[in-house]
Amino acid sequence: MLSDIDLKDWIEQPSIPLYDVPKETPVKTPMGMLWFKHIDGMYSLNYDANGHPVHMKAWVKVNPYRRKSDE
């Protein structure tokens, strides 16, 4: 699950293709905020704030988030 409370510890990064995003990363997408799990062939497995799976094309552009502690 993803919430604004969780995101306060993350910094939004520039847009990149989803296949370049590290696993287990929050991403801002055209569909809203998702938790990116992994790429599976030409699609990805992500979860929305309610824990529902969302499958997106692996090449869609997203804005990944990086932990503030990783600076």
DSSP code of residue 59 = T
pLDDT of residue 7: 73
Taking only the tens place, the pLDDT of each residue in 12-68 is: 999 999 999 999 999 999 889 999 999 999 999 999 989 999 999 999 999 999 988
The domain ranges of the chain are 4-65
Overall fold of domain 4-65: SH3 type barrels. (2.30.30)
> Using CA atoms, how far apart are residues 62 and 71, in angstroms rounded to an integer?
20
> Using CA atoms, how far apart are residues 35 and 49, in angstroms rounded to an integer?
8
pTM, 2 dp: 0.83
pLDDT of residue 68: 84
